[in-house]
Amino acid sequence: MSEQPIVRRRVVKKGISDARTNDSRTQSQYDPYKDAAWGFINHWYPALFTNELEEDQVEGIQICGVPIVLRRAEGKVYALKDQCLHRGVRLSEKPMCFNKDSITCWYHGFTFDLKDGDLTTIVGNPDDKLIGTTGITTYPVHEVNGMIFVFVREDDFSLEDVPPLSDDLPFRFPENSEKFPHPLWPKSPSVLDDNAMILGMHRTGYGDWRIACENGFDNAHILVHKDNTIVHAMEWVLPLGIVPVSDDAITVVEDEKGPKGLMQWLFTDRWKPTLENKELGVKVDGMNSRHYRTSVVLPGVLMVENWPENHVVQYEWYVPITDDTHEYWEVLVKIVKTDEEKRLYQQRYDLVYKPLCLHGFNDCDLYAREAMQNFYSDGTGWDDEQLVSTDVSPITWRKLASRWNRGIAKPGRGVAGSLKDTSLIFKNTADGHRPGYKVRKIEE
Amino acid sequence: MSEQPIVRRRVVKKGISDARTNDSRTQSQYDPYKDAAWGFINHWYPALFTNELEEDQVEGIQICGVPIVLRRAEGKVYALKDQCLHRGVRLSEKPMCFNKDSITCWYHGFTFDLKDGDLTTIVGNPDDKLIGTTGITTYPVHEVNGMIFVFVREDDFSLEDVPPLSDDLPFRFPENSEKFPHPLWPKSPSVLDDNAMILGMHRTGYGDWRIACENGFDNAHILVHKDNTIVHAMEWVLPLGIVPVSDDAITVVEDEKGPKGLMQWLFTDRWKPTLENKELGVKVDGMNSRHYRTSVVLPGVLMVENWPENHVVQYEWYVPITDDTHEYWEVLVKIVKTDEEKRLYQQRYDLVYKPLCLHGFNDCDLYAREAMQNFYSDGTGWDDEQLVSTDVSPITWRKLASRWNRGIAKPGRGVAGSLKDTSLIFKNTADGHRPGYKVRKIEE
Amino acid sequence: MSEQPIVRRRVVKKGISDARTNDSRTQSQYDPYKDAAWGFINHWYPALFTNELEEDQVEGIQICGVPIVLRRAEGKVYALKDQCLHRGVRLSEKPMCFNKDSITCWYHGFTFDLKDGDLTTIVGNPDDKLIGTTGITTYPVHEVNGMIFVFVREDDFSLEDVPPLSDDLPFRFPENSEKFPHPLWPKSPSVLDDNAMILGMHRTGYGDWRIACENGFDNAHILVHKDNTIVHAMEWVLPLGIVPVSDDAITVVEDEKGPKGLMQWLFTDRWKPTLENKELGVKVDGMNSRHYRTSVVLPGVLMVENWPENHVVQYEWYVPITDDTHEYWEVLVKIVKTDEEKRLYQQRYDLVYKPLCLHGFNDCDLYAREAMQNFYSDGTGWDDEQLVSTDVSPITWRKLASRWNRGIAKPGRGVAGSLKDTSLIFKNTADGHRPGYKVRKIEE
C-alpha cells in the first residue's frame, strides 16, 4: 500500500501459548509423522473382507497411493500393482483373466503372472521382446478369519524383509497378559485367534488418515459421544474426560520384534476420570462406567478392549488411500465356538452393534475428523494446534510412529488423487460420484 | 521443437491498445487493490440479519478468510474466531454452550469467554495449565435496525483502533446535503437512522468480490438491464449509457474522519446520457428516466439513492468469503414511522422490490459478474483488460481503495477455501452442496 | 526419520525394462509432443456441424484453450475470439447483434466487426478514443458439406500464412491412389469431395487429446472391441492383434505441401494378424475379416477407410479444449448422388452406424481413454510407459507431430480450464453441470 493512514499499536493478544504441551522441542520429535500424509508404507493393511472377493472375482483398491488389484484363484488371494506397465490403466476396471495363473489387461492384452507379476505374454503380440523382461510389483497377502490383509510395499522393498502380519497388529493375549494385565475383563481376542469371529464394515473417510487415527485413542473426545443412543440405551454414564495423573499413564512398546505401539492404562490410578467442572457447573452423577482400554500400534491400528460389551474387542484401521482420504475399518471380534454362539453374535451385531456402535457412536467420530480437515489439510494445524495434557496420547503416538514406521509413502504418481482437480473428476462429481476406495468397474 | 518448417511473419495486429484509460501508469496507482483478492481486513462488514440470530442461537460465517462464530446471549451478539485453538474445528458446526458467558467447543470441551475469547476452562480437563494463558480473537459487533455488523480484524489489530461503524458506511444525510445536494429527491436514509426499516437478502456470489463490487457503480453496464421486467413494468426508458463529460464527474472523499469513498454526479451536467448510437442505428425514444445516484465507500459498500423508488435507498455489500466467493447483500432502506407505513413498505418489498429488483434486476448483475470470473481469477484480466472513459468509476475506486483500506487480508489458512480441491469438497459437491457463506451444521 | 530399524536390501526387481521400444533416445525425438497438452495451434479444426449454426445463431466453443465465438450472417460463418477485450466476458454467453456486420458484447456494448474483429463502436459510448485502435482476433472459416472448420491461430500468426484446409485433412483419393493403393475397396471419399454426405456427432471426452488420438490408430487395442455388438451382428471375426512384420509397415508423409501424417499398411504382408496365443490357449477360428486401413495426419485427424462398411470412411478428430478435455468428433462419409441414396444412407446411419458404431463400438474407446488419464495427466505416463512393437504407430505419430506441427498451444489464460478448481466450477458441478465444449447460454 502506498500510504497507510492508521498507526497500529501491535499488541499481540492471542496466539500460540507457551503453556501448550507440544512446544517446538516436542514437535521436532515427530517431524517424520508430519510428512506422512500419504501414509506409512511397507506395512500390513486390511484390503477387503473375505466375502468381498469370491473365487475369480477381481477388485481394485488403493492404499498409500498404491493402486492394488486383488484376485482370488483356486481359493488363494493374489495382490498386484493395479496399473498396467504398458499404458497405465487399472486392470481391475474391467477384469480379464484367461486362466488361474494370470491376469490380463483388458486394453492391450498384457498378461501378468499372479505369483510374481512377470509379464508372461501379450494376447495379440505373443513374441514381443518385452515379454519376460519386466513385470509389476506383487504384494504379500495374508487372509485370516474373514479378512484379507495386504503388505503394501515400495517397489524396491525386498520380499525377504516382509515381517509377519502379527508385527502390524495390536498386542495379543495371553502373551501380553502379564505385561498388560486387565483385571476387569477376560483376555482380549485377536483377529488371529482360533475361533475368532470378525464382524464389521469399512467405508471411505474424507480426511487425513492421521487425524482419523488420533481421534481413535484420544481420551478427551468423549464429549462428542455424550448424547449417543448406545450410551443412554445401556445407561452408561461417561465421565466428562479422562486425565493422565502419572508419568506412566502410557506404556510405549518398541521391542525389537513384534508390534510397535502404545498402551494406555485407562481406568487405573494412572488416569483420573473428570466427574465435575465447577467453572461450568457441570457434574456427572453416579457412574455406570463402561470400562475399556485403548491401545494403538503401527501402522495405525486401534484396539478397544472390552468394547462395546464384555468379551468383545473393537479394532479400527484408518487405511490411507490418498493424502486426504482413508478407508475407515471397524471390526468387532469375539471368540465363538458353537454355531449357536455364532448365530447369537451375528444377531447382536446386526441389531445392536452395527446400528448403534459402528454407526451411531462412531459416526460422531467421522464428522469430528472431517471437522478438523480444513485446519490440517493445508498444514496450518500441525503448527498452530495448542495441545494439552490429555493429548499425551497422540503426542506419544506421533513420536513412536516417527521412529518405527518402515517408510513414509511418497505422494501418489499417476494414480487417483495424485491430481485432485482434473476435469474427469469434475465430470464424475457432477454425476454424483464421490472419490472412493474401490475401483468403479467400467459399465458397457 | 527440433525443426520448424513455417517461417512466421509476426505482424502483431491485435493487442492492448495505447488508447485504453488504464495505462501502466494508472495501473501502478492501484497495485494494492490487485492484491486484495481475499478482501480488505480491519473493516466493518454485515454478518447476519437480526432475525437470523435468535437468543442463544449460534451461527458460523466466513469473512475475508476469517471464520467467525456469532452467538446471541442476553440479547447481545458476540463474535469470536470460529476455529478452536486446540484442533481447529469450527465451534459453530455443533453449538455447545453451558451458560450465557461462554461458548464451548463440542469436540474436546475447550470453553471460551464470549467477551474476550479467553480460554476459561476445558470441560473434562479443568486444571490444565493451558487455561488462562491463551484464547481466540474476538470481533466487535454493532447491531442496528435489524442488521448485525462485525468488525473483522487481524489478530493483532488493537481493539482501541476500531473505528465507528459509520466510518465504513456510505455518506449520510443531511450532514452531507450541502456537499452532495440532490435536488431531485429527499434526503437519503441511512441504515443508522432512527425509524429506518431495512428489508433485504443475502446470498453467495461465485466470484471475486472486487469484480462484484465494481459492477455495482459501473455506469456503462446499463445494457445488461435493458430487458428487465421492472424497467418495462415501470415504463422507465434507460439511456444506452452514461458518459462522463467533465473532470469533476466524480468526487473522491478522503477526509481524515468518516467514510472514504467516491460520489458520482449522475444526472447532472457532469455526465451525459447516450441516447443514440448512429453506427448501429440504435436510438432511445423519449425518456421516462429513473433518476438515481451511486456512490461507494470502503470496504466496498454501494449506495444507490432514490432507487428503486422515491424515498428508498438501496445498499449493497460484496463481503469477501474467500478469494473467489463473496456474500452478496442487497438491502432497501426507508424511513417508516407508523405501523401502517411499515405494513405497506413490507408488502411492496415482498410483492415488487424483492422479486423484480433484488432478484429480477440484480440477478443480471450476478451472472455478469460470474461471466468475468475466468478472465480475472487467474490474474489475466487485471493486466489485459482495456478500460474506457466510462470506467473512470472503477479506476477511481481502485485507487482510493488502494490508499485508504486498513489492511489487505492474507490468503486464508486452515479454513474453508484455503485449499479449493480437497476430497472432502468433492464429496460435498457430489452430494449437491455448493461452497457457501454459512457453516452447515452437523447432522447426527 | 531419526532412526531406521530396518536394513533394506534394495533389490530392484520391477521397473522400466530396457526391452521397451520407447527408450530414452526414441523419447527425445518426441519431446515437443509431450509439451502439447493444450494442443497444436495454427491448425484447422472442426468447430460445429452446419446444422448447429443457423442464420444469426451465435455459439461459443473453446479449442486449444482459445475461446471462439461463431456467428452466421448472410449465410457466411464468422469466427472471433470469444473474450471481450474490455472485461473478458464471452460474447456468446448472451448473444447480441445489432446488424449483419458486427457482434456486440452484451455487458458494456463493445461492438466488433465480424470480418476483422475491429472495435467499431461502443453502444452507449460511441465517441470513446479506444474505438478504432484495437480489436479481437479473427479465425478463418471453411464450411464444406455440412461441417464448419476453423483455423485456430495464435494472435500473431499472420493470415497470409494460413494454409488450405486440405493441408490438415487426411490423404485424398484418387490423387494418392498410386502411392497408397487399396485393392480391397474403392477410392475413399473425403469430406471435401463433391456429393460427400457427412453424418456424425461430437461430444466432450474427459482426458488428454493425445491419449484419445493415439487410441484411434493403435492396432493393439482391438481386444477392447471383442464383445461389441456390431462385431457379432456382422459376424466379423477380429484377430487378437495386428503386429508389424516389416520396416515399411508405416509410411510417413512429410511432403512440403499437403498433409503431414502416417499411413499404415494394414491387411498387407507388412502387418501380420495374430490368430493364436498359445501361452493362454486362446485362438481365433475362421476369419470373416473386416478389412480397413487407418492413417492419421496433423493436427490429429484419423481416417479409417472401408469402415464400418464398404464405400464408407470414418473420420475422427480429438479437438483439444483444455489440457484435460477434448471434443471427440466421429463422422462417416459416403458419396451419394441421388435423393434415394441419401435417404438410405441416412436411414442406415440412424439405425445401425450411430447406435452400434459411433456409440457401441467407439464408446469402448472413450472409456479406455479415460482409464489412461490418471497415468498421463500428472506426467507419470510419458516417462513410465513401456511400449512394445505394436506401438510403432503412436511412436511414429509422436515423432512426426513433433516435427511438423505449426505451434504448441500455450496453457490457456483467463479462460475456462486455466484454473480447474474455482468455487464457480464447484457450484456448477454441485448443480450437475460437467465441464464442456460449448458455452452454456445465460438463462434469465
Distance CA B226, CA B216 (A): 16
- Asked if the Cβ–Cβ distance from C12 to A123 is below 8 Å, we say no
pLDDT of residue C2: 40
Q: Please report which confidence band the pLDDT of residue A286 belongs to, taking 50, 70 and 90 as the band edges.
A: low
A1 or B419, which is more confident: B419
B342 band by pLDDT with thresholds 50, 70 and 90: very high
For residue A298, what are the contacts with CB-CB under 8 A and spacing of at least 6?
A40, A43, A168, A259, A260, A261, A400, A401, A404, A405
Q: How many CB pairs under 8 A join B and C?
A: 213
In A401-430, the residues whose Cβ lies within 8 Å of chain C are: 402-406, 408, 413-416, 418-424, 426-427, 429-430
The interface predicted TM-score (ipTM) is 0.94
CA distance B187 to A182: 80
Residue B181 has pLDDT above 90, yes or no: yes
Helix pair B392-404, B209-216: axis angle to 10 deg: 130
Distance between CA atoms of residues B368 and A269, nearest Å: 67
pLDDT, one tens digit per residue, over A291-322 is 899 999 999 999 999 999 999 999 999 999 99
Whole-angstrom Cα distance, residue B47 to residue B437?
10
Question: CA-to-CA distance for C327 and A76, rounded, in angstroms?
Answer: 44
Tell me: cis bond preceding C299? Omega within 30 of 0 counts. yes
Residue A300 · residue A277 · CB < 8 Å: no
All domains of chain C, ordered by start, with CATH?
170-404 (3.90.380.10)
Helix (H, G, I), strand (E, B) or coil at B80: strand
Cell of C233: 451382428
Give the pLDDT confidence score for residue C9 in this predicted structure: 44
d(C-alpha A101, C-alpha C281), whole Å? 13
Helix ranges, B273-325 (H): none
Cα A195 from chain centroid (whole Å): 24
Give A425's contacts in chain B (Cβ within 8 Å): 426
- The cell for A414 is 499417476
Nearest-Å Rg of the Cα atoms of chain C is 24
- Amino acid present at A9: R
User: Chain C: nearest CA to A367, how far in angstroms?
Assistant: 21
Q: Which comes out higher in pLDDT, residue A443 or C360?
A: C360
pLDDT of res. B183 = 76
Condensed to tens digits (0 to 9), the pLDDT of residues A50-84 reads 999 999 999 999 999 999 999 999 999 999 999 99
Helix (H) or strand (E) holding A295: strand A293-297
pLDDT at A287: 64
CB contact under 8 A, C279 and A126: yes
Q: Reply yes or no: is the peptide bond before residue C308 cis, omega within 30 of 0.
A: yes
Q: What percent of chain A has pLDDT over 90?
A: 90
Which is nearest to C225 in space by CA: C286, C308, C305? Answer: C308
Of the partner residues B206, B240, B242, the one whose CB lies closest to the CB of residue C123 = B240
Contact state of B9 with C93 under an 8 Å Cβ cutoff: no
Q: Give the pLDDT confidence score for residue A2 in this predicted structure.
A: 39
| Side-chain half-sphere exposure of C397, counting CA atoms within 13 A | 25
Q: How far is B86 from chain A (nearest CA, A)?
A: 5
Residue A155 predicted with pLDDT over 90: yes
How does pLDDT run along chain C (444 residues), one tens digit per residue? 344 444 444 444 567 898 999 999 999 999 999 999 999 999 999 999 999 999 999 999 999 999 999 999 999 999 999 999 999 999 999 999 999 999 999 999 999 999 999 999 999 999 999 999 999 999 999 999 999 999 999 999 999 999 999 999 999 999 999 999 987 888 999 999 999 999 999 999 999 999 999 999 999 999 999 889 998 888 888 899 999 999 999 999 999 999 999 999 998 999 999 999 999 999 987 667 788 999 999 999 999 999 999 999 999 999 999 999 999 999 999 999 999 999 999 999 999 999 999 999 999 999 999 999 999 999 999 999 999 999 999 999 999 999 999 999 999 999 999 999 999 999 999 999 999 999 999 987
Taking CA atoms, B168 is separated from A316, B43, B152, B176, B405, in Å, by 53, 7, 12, 15, 10
Task: Give the CB-side neighbour count of residue C395, counting CA atoms within 13 A.
Answer: 20
Which tens digit of pLDDT belongs to each residue from B220-238?
999 999 889 998 888 888 8
* Contact partners, residue C365, CB within 8 Å, separation at least 6: C212, C215, C216, C221, C224
* pLDDT for the residue A391: 97
Cis peptide before C32 (omega within 30 of 0): no
Residue C389: is it exposed, middle or buried by C-beta count within 10 angstroms (0-12/13-18/19+)?
Answer: middle
How many whole angstroms separate alpha carbon A122 and alpha carbon A126?
5
Tell me the average pLDDT across B209-227.
Answer: 94
Look-up: residue for cell 454424483?
A: A432
pLDDT at B14: 67
- How far apart CA B346 and CA B340 sit, in angstroms, is 10
pTM, 2 dp = 0.95
DSSP characters for B112-181? EETTT-BEEEETT-TT-TTTTS-B--B--EEEETTEEEEEE--TTS-GGGPPPGGGGS---TTTTTTTS-
> Of A313, A324, A335, which is closest to residue A169 (Cα–Cα)?
A313
- pLDDT attached to residue C444: 73
Strand pairing report for C102-104 and C110-113: antiparallel
Question: What is the per-residue pLDDT for C6?
Answer: 44
Query: N- to C-terminal Cα distance for chain C?
Result: 59
Chain B interface, mutation test: which of C97, C323, C422, most B Cβ atoms within 10 Å?
C422
| SS3 call for C339 | helix
Cα separation of B354 and B200, whole Å?
A: 8
Which cell is C61 given?
A: 466453443
Q: Please say whether the beta carbons of B36 and B300 come within 8 A.
A: no
- 3 state SS of A170: coil
Contacts of C386 in chain A (CB under 8 A): 85-86, 130, 134
pLDDT of residue B374: 96
Helix axes A209-216, A362-377, angle to 10 degrees: 140
Note the pLDDT tens digit of each residue in C262-277: 999 998 999 999 999 9
Q: If pLDDT is split at 50, 70 and 90, which confidence band does B199 have?
A: very high
Residue of B nearest to C131 (CA): B19
- pLDDT digits 0-9 by tens, B322-335: 999 999 999 999 99
Report the length, in residues, of chain C: 444
Q: CB of C108 within 8 A of CB of C122?
A: yes
Q: Could you give the angle at which helices C423-430 and B423-430 cross, rounded to 10 degrees?
A: 30
Burial class of residue C1, CB neighbours in 10 A (0-12, 13-18, 19+): middle
Residue of A nearest to B123 (CA): A277
C2–A155 C-beta distance less than 8 A: no
β-strands B241-244, B271-274 pairing: antiparallel
* Stated length of chain A: 444
Cell matching residue C126: 460511441
Maximum Cα–Cα distance for chain B, whole Å? 83
Strand bridging mode B66-73 / B76-81? antiparallel
Largest CA distance in chain C: 83
Give the Cα separation of A49 and A69 in Å (integer): 14
> How far is residue A237's CA from residue B152's CA, in Å, rounded to a whole number?
42
Distance separating alpha carbons of residues C304 and C238, to the nearest angstrom: 16
Q: Which three cell numbers stand for residue C319?
A: 479437438
What is the Cα–Cα distance from C311 to A372, expressed in whole angstroms? Answer: 64
Give the pLDDT band (50/70/90) at residue B184: confident
What residues does B251 pair with on adjacent strands?
A: B263
Q: Please say if the pLDDT value at position A258 is more than 90.
A: yes
Question: Which DSSP string corresponds to A385-420?
Answer: ----GGGHHHHHHHHHHHHH-S-BPPPPSSSBTTBS
pLDDT band at A14 (very low <50, low <70, confident <90, very high): low
Question: What is the DSSP-derived secondary structure letter of residue A121?
Answer: E
> C330, C196 in Cβ contact below 8 A?
no
Alpha carbons C187 and B59: distance in angstroms, whole number: 73
Identify the closest residue of chain A to B42 by CA–CA distance.
A6
Q: Is B347 on the interface with A (CB under 8 A)?
A: no
pLDDT at residue C4, rounded to an integer: 45
Chains touching C, CB cut-off 8 Å, 3+ pairs: A, B
pLDDT of residue A9: 44
Q: How far apart are CA C311 and CA A298, in angstroms?
A: 66
State residue B5's pLDDT score.
44
pLDDT surpassing 60 at residue B9? no
Contact residues, chain C, for B221 at CB < 8 Å:
107-108
Q: Are B298 and B260 in contact (CB under 8 A)?
A: yes
Strands in B212-367 per DSSP E: 241-244, 250-253, 261-264, 271-274, 276-277, 282-283, 293-297, 301-305, 313-320, 326-335
